[in-house]
């Protein structure tokens, strides 16, 4: 049901194929070495031991990493080196939905020269594949280097649910406080946007939709669960008949 594990279709290959690199900027993805053909044998070994035709080859396990945008960009900082060559180093910090995100990278979305002079970057990382109960959002960061002679005056970094614009280089820009991590949502009353809290219920016992991540998926008492797809940045809430949250999970 909600906790079913389904791999995300977002992959690092999509970003790198669609957008490429920018003016010799640092690339984080590395090409995988070509594996030698399986069951390759020297003539002597082949003659000495005929192949076993009684067993079938086992299917290879899919080990491709599941890359996805990080949940929320918290800050973008640009540093200019004081030694030759003069590099601009972009340092980005963010938070992930759950524990287990690894290998954060900044991938360029801009191809060539942008009309507004801003370099667009996506902050992605290797996401976990298992559904997880809400917890305090872990911090993650990544660095991107822009080579000398670039035409950009600023950078704009995109996460799954927000983006942060740094208008000039060097400099620093910070996002507003991140949304509610929902660690204590279960058992509280859910109040949708524009609705009022139930009569007699204190503010501490209420979770308002506008305080949650934009990707929240709310399943009301009269609704089904919808598609069994997976999104590591989607918070799913199941609402009980009395209006309280009975399940909260990042799926």
pLDDT digit string, tens, across residues 191-244: 999 999 999 999 999 999 999 999 999 999 999 988 888 899 999 999 999 999
Q: What rounded mean pLDDT belongs to the chain?
A: 81
Q: Please, which residues have CB within 8 angstroms of residue 204's CB and are 6 or more apart in sequence?
A: none
Give the residue-averaged pLDDT of 19-47. Answer: 41
Of the listed ranges 25-34, 55-64, 100-109, 176-185, the least confidently predicted one is 25-34
Q: How far apart are CA 24 and CA 245, in angstroms?
A: 49
CA–CA separation, 11 and 49 (whole Å): 42
Dist CA 226 CA 1 (whole Å): 10
Q: How far apart are CA 164 and CA 119, in angstroms?
A: 12
Least-confidence region, from 14-18, 40-44, 101-105, 141-145: 14-18
Predicted pLDDT of residue 57:
53
C-alpha neighbours within 13 Å on the C-beta side of residue 160: 25
User: CB under 8 Å to 44, separation ≥6 — which residues?
Assistant: none
H helix or E strand, kind and range, residue 68: strand 67-69
Contact 158, 123 (CB under 8 A): yes
């Amino acid at each position: 049901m909600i906790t079913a594990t389904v791999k995300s279709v977002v992959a690092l290959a999509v970003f790198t194929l669609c957008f490429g690199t920018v003016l010799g900027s640092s690339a984080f993805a590395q090409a995988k070495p070509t594996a030698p053909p399986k069951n390759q044998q020297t003539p002597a070994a082949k003659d000495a031991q005929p192949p076993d035709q009684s067993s079938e080859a086992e299917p290879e396990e899919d080990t491709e990493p599941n890359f996805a945008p990080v949940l929320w960009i918290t800050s973008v900082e640009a540093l200019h080196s004081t030694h030759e060559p003069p590099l601009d180093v972009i340092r980005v910090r963010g938070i992930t939905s759950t524990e287990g995100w690894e290998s954060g990278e900044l991938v360029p979305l801009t191809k060539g020269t942008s009309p507004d002079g801003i370099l667009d970057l996506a902050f992605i990382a290797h996401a976990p594949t298992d559904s997880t109960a809400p917890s305090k959002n872990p911090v993650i960061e990544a660095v991107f280097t822009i080579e000398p002679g670039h035409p950009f005056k600023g950078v704009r970094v995109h996460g799954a649910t927000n983006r942060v614009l740094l208008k000039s280089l060097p400099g620093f820009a910070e996002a507003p406080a991140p949304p509610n991590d929902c660690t204590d949502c279960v058992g509280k009353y859910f109040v949708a946007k524009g609705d009022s809290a139930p009569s007699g219920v204190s503010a501490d016992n209420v979770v308002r939709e506008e305080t949650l991540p934009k990707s929240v998926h709310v399943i009301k008492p009269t609704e089904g669960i919808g598609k069994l797809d997976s999104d590591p940045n989607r918070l799913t809430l199941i609402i009980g008949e009395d209006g309280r949250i009975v399940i909260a999970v990042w799926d």
